[in-house]
Chains A and B, each alone.
Chain A
């Protein structure tokens, strides 16, 4: 074999374990789901194979599904905005602190060591009718009856922000950390106040990181079913809950497949739009 041929082959050899894993564990199952989505669930239990568009028709036209999809995107959007507003100052603080950056970043990563489900359930002990907050309010005499705080849209958003904030902070931090601090000094020396220097120089230069963090938060929030399951009320279902419901409760795998693919398409479209305007490289930078 010539050296050129060997060199051309080397990247493929190195990639092959990952490619095999992705193909077997992601691509093939996904194809199963695509095929499933065109089958039909029959009353007897066994699914009818074939090419039926009924599931897709229902997924796209049923006003209930559309309402839930809309609600999901709304909750994801609110969560993303809140994460951006809360995460940016924190990321700025970490990026500009001297010396102890690493400690702060480790503190930021600390929650990841605890299961996401347990972190989410901990809110029940805080906000529940016999939770910490209500006990405190009652013992202070501010209220005599416990206040119902759990199981609504707000607690779902609260849980999502709690879960996703570190992703936002990390992405914005990477972006801010790469900005030369001399730029702000230069802007100040030219007559810009601290705030003007921030809005004119630092903020625009950190937008790619903010956008990458926003994309991650949005996609992860829109795809969640655990948070609404634990912290939401009956009317706060999100789209992934429909999939869960269809597959686990109703055992309607074909419908569940169609619904999950629909969500995949909507979020995929969003990623494509992001990629078109900002590029995926920012995202990988934020994760690295």
Chain B
């Protein structure tokens, strides 16, 4: 059963359309991430589900019930904000108990549930403290405890990790996901951070300029981007203009200058059927630099010149020149990286290529 269903949601602010006719089905218990750059409509969408904004058009249902006209305080949702939004004049325990008060939970039971929630976020002894006495990470855990103690139908997380520093963010990411799967609450997570999205989600919804670009499992979105935007936004990709030669024997033929004739599996080019202009997509980490005199072993091989080396310790990012085009490659480093000006062979496999149409259908 679907926990949340959005049907043809449109949100306009005056002349500006923040969300264009969006439809989304969020299965019960799943963790769905709305991913995109700022201004793509992801937070607007979350705020419409929460009831903080009204959609201009379309329907929002939670557990099969249309809730467009249900005010926020009757929706039974847990909301976690980027800036924590803890009540500064209440203790941690009072913050967590806040929602229980309006659900007329008896005092004893409320105390037990607050203690359980604080236990779950690993802050069992801080109930008497005030929010200002806690670190950012601890405050965000309290905010999470406050949102889940009411046993919400849906947990809405608005960039909850963005205010934390890098190390803490990665730890909290793992912990948040653990807590979510332990209590099994349906979660909608908003972020602009692709690694958060890839690490945590069951489903990623990639958004751009108020439109959904792609919906899919993390590996699907990562490996088979449905559009140039998705390919660019998730990881580093090379997107090169090419000429499609049509499908033959389950493979799409592609021609581009400086490259041998490529045969891309048709499953990796679902939107390119006919011959004509197309685009080749190869992830930067799938391009392997090798010395030109080594064996290709059945892989494609393209001669290239190293232009810039961005050394990062365990890996290096190379900018390479192939003909008049610049390509990016990210490789693990064995001993020493290739140096600037060196001639190399770029090796890649057919199944790591994908093809996109030049003008994606609107």
Contact = CB atoms under 8 A, between A and B. Distances in A.
Interface of A: 180, 182-183, 185-193, 196, 200-201, 204-205
Given A182-B81, A185-B52, A186-B79, A191 B99 contact: yes
Contact of B77 (A180, A189, A201, A204): A189
Contacts of A187: 87, 98
7 closest Cβ pairs, A-B complex: A191-B102, A190-B99, A189-B79, A182-B85, A186-B85, A188-B72, A182-B81
A205 B89 contact: yes
Interface string B75-116: 111110101010111000000001101110000000000000
B146 interface: yes
B85 A185 contact: yes
A141 to B, nearest CB: 49
A273 to B, nearest CB: 21
27 contacts: A180-B85, A182-B81, A182-B85, A183-B85, A183-B87, A185-B50, A185-B81, A186-B79, A186-B81, A187-B87, A187-B98, A188-B51, A188-B52, A188-B71, A189-B50, A189-B72, A189-B73, A189-B78, A189-B79, A189-B156, A190-B79, A190-B98, A190-B150, A191-B76, A191-B102, A192-B102, A201-B87
Contacts of B52: 185, 188
Q: Which of B50, B79, B103 has the most CB of A within 10 A?
A: B79
Contact of B83 (A180, A201, A204): A180
A228 B266 CA distance: 91
A28 B77 CA distance: 64
Contacts of A205: 88-89
A119 to B, nearest CB: 38
Interface of B: 50-52, 71-79, 81, 83, 85, 87-89, 98-99, 101-103, 146-147, 150, 156
B87 A191 contact: no
A76 to B, nearest CB: 29
Given A180-B83, A182-B83, A185-B79, A191 B89 contact: no
B87 to A, nearest CB: 6
Contacts of A196: 73, 102
Contacts of B88: 205
Contacts of B147: 189-190
Nearest to B88: A205
A186 B88 CA distance: 12
Nearest to B152: A189
A182 B83 CA distance: 8
A287 to B, nearest CB: 23
Given A189-B50, A190-B98, A191-B150, 12 more contacts: A180-B85, A185-B52, A185-B72, A186-B87, A188-B52, A188-B73, A189-B78, A189-B147, A189-B156, A190-B150, A200-B98, A204-B89
A183 B81 CA distance: 10
A202 to B, nearest CB: 10
Contacts of B72: 185, 188-189
B111 to A, nearest CB: 17
A142 to B, nearest CB: 45
A185 B98 CA distance: 13
Contacts of A191: 73-74, 76, 99, 101-103, 150
A188 B81 CA distance: 13
B100 to A, nearest CB: 9
Nearest to A190: B99
Contacts of B156: 189
Contacts of B101: 191
A285 to B, nearest CB: 15
Nearest to A189: B79
A201 B94 CA distance: 12
A188 B74 CA distance: 9
Contacts of B150: 190-191
Contacts of B74: 191
B177 to A, nearest CB: 22
A190 B150 CA distance: 8
Contacts of A190: 73, 79, 98-99, 102, 146-147, 150
A182 B102 CA distance: 19
Nearest to A184: B85
Contacts of B51: 188-189
A194 B78 CA distance: 17
Nearest to B96: A190
Q: Which of A188, A193, A204 has the most CB of B within 10 A?
A: A188
A81 B140 CA distance: 39
Given A185-B79, A187-B98, A193 B85 contact: no
A196 B73 CA distance: 10
A193 B75 CA distance: 12
Contacts of A200: 87, 98
Contacts of A186: 79, 81, 85, 87, 146
Contacts of A193: 71, 73
A183 B52 CA distance: 12
A31 B98 CA distance: 55
B188 to A, nearest CB: 13
Contacts of B76: 191
A199 B79 CA distance: 20
Contacts of A201: 87
A201 B74 CA distance: 18
A194 B73 CA distance: 8
